[in-house]
């Protein structure tokens, strides 16, 4: 072990001789293929008194590599498991005497334990979830051992990342293994894991926000592949809803509240039958939940101030976006029962104003969060011709919101070179908004022509009346919309029927241009 520590000291010392440093790295690399060297590394990591942090990190990295690359036989795996179990009991169990590891080392240790789980949970360490859970507190259900709770939650999060994270590419063998592990977890341990979340939330609510936030994030991960009834039940919801609605007396961000909202977003995103999804959205009463959040001081009274809680707004916008995406999926589902679709239509009526609230937000990041659901809605409406009156009534507020979002906000200054990055981002947003606007034109050409004609015509009338007193942002919006309108009057564009020019659109464009000329005052205007 002294050789390992000496090699680490040389390798990580910036003043070491280059040749010695090369030899040290070579020695450490050789440990990865040496069974005795791997065991020495684990012994160095677990020994008391503890070695230096960098020595322990390097040692555990050697161990991780051996487990992950399946270099160990069953006997070696068992030896590693037993030694690590002994270590975590000494360090993380209730009443443990050893000092806990730094966050960086805990991350590394979590990785090691997760790799052991992957190798041994099926056979060889069937009790590992129970063993991890035992670190959190006494057997009476109290989860009061903070260091054990934190490690337990780290491990649960890491297990999900390894077996259920859909963003990670897997080999076919890994995918097969992960399916088997999830099935085993659901059969053996998931109910007790879900119960432990309730116990941890109960134990630490109002006492330690970091643990509450960690627990919520773990729930948000696991909910995608476990029985939804383990989360959507009255006992758990009674713990979650107060977190969603809590207010921060000091103002500013509230990571726990935002994490609770994210948890509901993940709950809604879980795949299930159309009827079950609609029933769940109704049961959770999410329309009322979102409405109350929008009416809260953080999102209402403070909306136009520097204290506006953009993190909260973005979290709620994500929830609304997810709900509307799923509602539209149900409406598009040809297999969905008529009563299910009827309920989905009612929910859409409830959520459209909420969606447009965030779409119209002054912050483009928040607006962009709900663009996917608005795109899906427009696509559905385009296919639902002829539109029922209830759907037709949605288009006017949608188009008006799109047009208003095309306008420069009040913080923009004409020709300010310091705002070039903001300008580029805004022009990129305008391109996305243009696509949304075109989709409305494809759904209802007459409505599109009428609304844009009024917007442009009224602006030029205001220009004629106010002249240099007019806000340049309004004039820029009118000119931009007239340009887009002109594009759409071209052959094969959206306001044409079967590649034939739209006489009405062409006539309206001529009227717009005439009003622009008649104003006699079109020039660059800057309101100071």
| Averages of pLDDT over each 10 residues, the chain, 528 residues | 86 88 90 91 94 94 92 92 96 91 96 97 96 89 93 98 94 96 98 97 96 98 97 97 84 88 98 96 97 93 88 97 98 95 97 97 94 97 90 95 91 66 85 93 90 87 76 87 77 44 64 65 44
pLDDT for 419 equals 65
Token representation of residue 384: 């639902």
pLDDT for 304 equals 83
What is the rounded distance in angstroms from the CA atom of residue 374 to the CA atom of residue 356? 9
What is the rounded distance in angstroms from the CA atom of residue 522 to the CA atom of residue 224? 56
For residues 211 and 146, the answer to whether their CB atoms sit within 8 Å is yes
pLDDT for 335 equals 92
Beta strands in 200-295 (DSSP E): none
> Can you say how many angstroms the Cα of residue 227 is from the centroid of all Cα atoms in its chain?
21
Find tokens 């009534």 and name the residue: 393
Question: Beta partners for 500?
Answer: 497
Question: Beta partners for 65?
Answer: none
For residues 67 and 108, the answer to whether their CB atoms sit within 8 Å is no
CA distances, 269 to each of 165, 169, 287, 299, 342 (Å): 14, 21, 16, 24, 21
What is the rounded distance in angstroms from the CA atom of residue 268 to the CA atom of residue 256? 19
Q: H helices within 16-142, ranges in order? A: 18-31, 35-46, 53-68, 74-92, 103-120, 128-133
SS (H, E, C) 324-352: HHHHHHHHHCCCCCHHHHHHHHHHHHHHH
For residue 219, give every residue at least 6 positions away whose Cβ sits within 8 Å of its Cβ, in sequence order, or none: 197, 231, 263, 266
What is the rounded distance in angstroms from the CA atom of residue 183 to the CA atom of residue 463? 68
Q: CA 274, 278, 280, 284: dihedral to nearest 10 degrees? A: 160
- pTM above the 0.85 mark? yes
What is the rounded distance in angstroms from the CA atom of residue 262 to the CA atom of residue 227? 18
Find tokens 């052991």 and name the residue: 116
pLDDT for 520 equals 56
pLDDT for 424 equals 86
For residues 504 and 448, the answer to whether their CB atoms sit within 8 Å is no
pLDDT for 497 equals 45
Find tokens 């995918």 and name the residue: 175
Helix axes 286-295, 255-269, angle to 10 degrees: 150
DSSP 97-113: -SPPPPHHHHHHHHHHH
Token representation of residue 450: 């009428």
pLDDT for 519 equals 63
Q: Beta-carbon neighbour count of residue 25 at 10 Å?
A: 15
What is the rounded distance in angstroms from the CA atom of residue 494 to the CA atom of residue 476? 23
pLDDT for 155 equals 98
pLDDT for 505 equals 65
């Amino acid at each position: 072990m002294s050789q390992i520590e000496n090699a680490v000291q040389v390798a990580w010392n910036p003043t070491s001789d280059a040749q010695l440093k090369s030899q040290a790295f070579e020695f450490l690399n050789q440990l990865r293929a040496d069974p005795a060297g791997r065991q020495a590394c684990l012994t160095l990591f677990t020994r008391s008194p503890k070695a230096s942090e960098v020595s322990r990190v390097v040692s555990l990295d050697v161990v991780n590599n051996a487990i992950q690359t399946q270099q160990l036989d069953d006997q070696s795996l068992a030896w590693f498991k037993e030694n690590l179990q002994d270590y975590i009991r000494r360090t993380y169990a209730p009443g443990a005497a050893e000092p806990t590891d730094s966050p960086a080392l805990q991350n590394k240790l979590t990785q090691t334990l997760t790799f052991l789980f992957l190798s041994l949970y099926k056979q060889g360490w069937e009790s590992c979830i129970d063993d991890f859970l035992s670190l959190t507190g006494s057997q009476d259900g109290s989860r009061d051992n903070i260091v054990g709770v934190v490690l337990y939650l780290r491990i649960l999060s890491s297990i999900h990342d390894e077996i259920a994270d859909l963003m990670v590419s897997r080999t076919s063998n890994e995918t097969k293994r992960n399916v088997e592990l999830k099935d085993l977890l659901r059969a053996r341990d998931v109910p007790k894991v879900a119960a432990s979340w309730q116990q941890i939330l109960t134990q630490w609510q109002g006492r330690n926000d970091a643990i509450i936030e960690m627990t919520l994030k773990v729930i948000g991960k696991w909910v995608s592949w476990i029985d939804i009834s383990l989360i959507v039940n009255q006992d758990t919801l009674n713990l979650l809803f107060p977190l969603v609605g809590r207010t921060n007396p000091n103002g500013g961000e509230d990571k726990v509240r935002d994490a609770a909202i994210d948890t509901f977003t993940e709950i809604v995103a879980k795949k299930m039958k159309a009827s079950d999804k609609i029933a769940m959205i109704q049961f959770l009463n999410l329309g009322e939940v979102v409405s109350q959040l929008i009416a809260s001081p953080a999102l209402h009274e403070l909306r136009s101030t520097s204290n506006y809680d953009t993190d909260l707004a973005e979290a709620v916008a994500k929830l609304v976006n997810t709900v509307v995406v799923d509602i539209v999926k149900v409406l598009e589902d040809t297999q969905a029962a008529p009563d299910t679709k009827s309920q989905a239509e009612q929910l859409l009526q409830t959520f459209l104003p909420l969606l447009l609230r965030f779409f119209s937000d002054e912050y483009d990041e928040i607006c962009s969060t709900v663009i996917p659901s608005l795109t899906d809605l427009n696509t559905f409406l385009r296919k639902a011709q002829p539109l029922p009156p209830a759907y037709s009534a949605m288009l006017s507020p949608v188009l008006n919101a799109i047009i208003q979002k095309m306008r420069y906000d009040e913080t923009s200054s004409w020709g300010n070179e310091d705002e070039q990055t903001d300008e580029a981002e805004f022009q990129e947003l305008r391109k996305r908004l243009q696509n949304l606007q075109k989709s409305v034109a494809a759904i209802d050409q007459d409505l599109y022509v009428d609304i844009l004609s009024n917007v442009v015509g009224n602006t030029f009338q205001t220009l004629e009346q106010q002249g240099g007193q007019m806000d340049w942002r309004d004039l820029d919006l009118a000119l931009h919309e007239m340009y887009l309108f002109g594009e759409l009057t071209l052959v094969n564009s959206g306001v044409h029927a079967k590649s034939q020019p739209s006489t009405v659109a062409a006539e309206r464009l001529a009227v717009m241009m005439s009003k622009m000329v008649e104003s006699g005052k079109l020039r660059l205007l800057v309101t100071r």
